[in-house]
Amino acid sequence: MNFADVERDVRKLIGLRLESISRSSAITIREIDDGQGRLIIGLKDGNTRSRPIDELRRIWDAMQNEPAVHVDKVLSGSGTSRNQPETILANLPYIEWLRIDNKKHIAYVGQNTHPFGTLQEMDPVRAVEIAARLRASSGNAKLSAVIVTRDLNASISAVQGICSGKLSTVGRGIYQIETESDLIVFLPAETSGLEDGTYAVIESRAQWDSANTKSLSLFGKTFTVFCRRDIKMLVRNP
Cβ neighbours of residue 141 under 8 Å, at least 6 residues apart?
178, 179, 180, 181, 182, 183
* 29 and 128 housed in the same domain: yes
User: Model confidence at 9, in pLDDT bands (50, 70, 90)?
Assistant: very high
pLDDT of residue 172: 75
For 116-173, what is each residue's pLDDT tens digit? Answer: 999 999 998 888 888 877 776 665 567 899 999 999 999 999 999 998 888 887 777 8
Confidence of residue 4 (pLDDT cuts 50, 70, 90): very high
Domain match, 18 and 120 both? yes
- Same domain for 120 and 148? no
64/52 Cα distance (integer angstroms)? 20
Are both 53 and 125 inside the same structural domain?
yes
pLDDT at 28 over 50: yes
115 and 29 co-located in one domain: yes
Model confidence at 78: pLDDT above 70: no
Choosing from 134, 166, 189, the residue where a domain stops is: 134
Please state the domain count of the chain: 2
Q: Are 18 and 29 in contact (CB under 8 A)?
A: yes
Q: Is the pLDDT of residue 79 over 80?
A: no
The pLDDT confidence band at residue 3, using thresholds 50, 70 and 90, is very high
Are residues 79 and 193 both part of a single domain? no
Do 163 and 218 fall within a single domain?
A: yes
Single pTM value for the model: 0.62
Report the percentage of the chain scoring pLDDT > 90.
51
- Residue 101's pLDDT is 83
pLDDT by residue (tens digit) across 37-46? Answer: 999 999 988 8
Nearest to 83 by CA among 49, 112, 126: 49
Structural domain of 40:
3-134
Per-residue confidence at 214, pLDDT binned at 50, 70, 90? confident
Among 72, 100, 134, give the residue marking a domain's end.
Answer: 134
* Lowest mean per-residue pLDDT among 21-25, 42-46, 85-89, 134-138: 134-138
**125 and 143 both lie in a single domain:** no
For residues 155 and 202, is the Cβ–Cβ distance under 8 A?
no
pLDDT for residue 177 is more than 60: yes
Residue where one domain finishes, among candidates 134, 163, 195: 134
pLDDT at 27: 93
- Is residue 192 located within the same domain as residue 81? no
CATH number of the domain where residue 169 is located: 3.10.180.10
**Side-chain half-sphere of 198: how many Cα atoms within 13 Å?**
9
pLDDT band at 211 (very low <50, low <70, confident <90, very high): low
Cβ-based burial of 130 (10 A; exposed 0-12, middle 13-18, buried ≥19): buried
